[in-house]
Amino acid sequence: MAIINAKIDDKLVRDFRHIIYERHGLRKGDFKNALEEAMLDYIHKYSLYHLEAAQGQKETIVSGTA
């Protein structure tokens, strides 16, 4: 498990916490879970590996239904 120390804009953190509060109630662990979810979303969005895998899955699904 990694520990990350970073200086983040106050407004960004406030907005992030507000969204977490609306979705989950900001219980213990909700901030960490939301941050991990955001990081995974970022990886899925920008990772070349994931993009290639997703394209391969689409091709497999299409060719499997023919």
Mean pLDDT per 10-residue segment, the chain (66 residues):
93 95 87 93 83 59 47
pLDDT of residue 63: 46
Residue 57 counted as domain residue: yes
pLDDT of residue 66: 45
pLDDT of residue 55: 64
Residue 21 counted as domain residue: no
pLDDT of residue 52: 65
Residue 53 counted as domain residue: yes
DSSP 1-66: ---------HHHHHHHHHHHHHHH---TTHHHHHHHHHHHHHHHHH-HHHHHHHHHHHHHHHHHH-
Residue 64 counted as domain residue: yes
Residue 5 counted as domain residue: no
Rounded Cα–Cα distance for residues 56 and 60 (Å):
6
- The number of distinct structural domains making up the chain is 1
